[in-house]
Amino acid sequence: MPECPAGGGGLLPAELRAWMLLLAATGAVEQRLRTVVKEKLDVSHDEFLVLCLLAEQPEGGLRMTRVAELLGRPKTRLTYQIACLQHAGLVTRRSVCGDRRGIEVALTDKARRLLAETSGTLAETVTEGLTRFMGPDQCAAMRGLMPDLSQEPRGT
């Protein structure tokens, strides 16, 4: 496994070194995933992230504001990405009942089929990228730390 450039005796505390290693691992995965996603799905990486969020919904879709919040994207940028996905026949948009400003986005059957066909290759790409930086136990621990993104945020 590659070491963080700060090694073990540098100035950075262990938590920051771990964070830097995690950033390096996710950066390597994203770089490879961008190519595979374009080849297999013919969408951008950011559009792919939208599809992944929607794929986790048991039924229906997500409000655009929730998608923007989960991805940390401005709503205007998301609107463009959704338009591209809609044009490709991968998502639908509809107004939310009782909220004239609310728009819900959902996957089409075409998108579900494409994701099902390519999910094995995409998962292998992620696994290969992560295992360059982490062992199997670390990867499992990381998955256990991730929140369930399909759940609405709890009030604070």
- What whole-number distance in Å separates Cα of residue 68 and Cα of residue 55? 15
Question: Residue 106: what pLDDT?
Answer: 94
Domain residue limits, the chain: 25-136
pLDDT digits (tens, 9 = 90+) for 114-154: 999 999 999 899 888 888 888 888 877 877 877 664 454 43
The CATH architecture to which 25-136 belongs is Orthogonal Bundle (1.10)
Question: Residue 78: what pLDDT?
Answer: 92
What are the Cα distances from residue 52, in Å, to 11, 70, 71, 152?
Answer: 38, 11, 11, 16
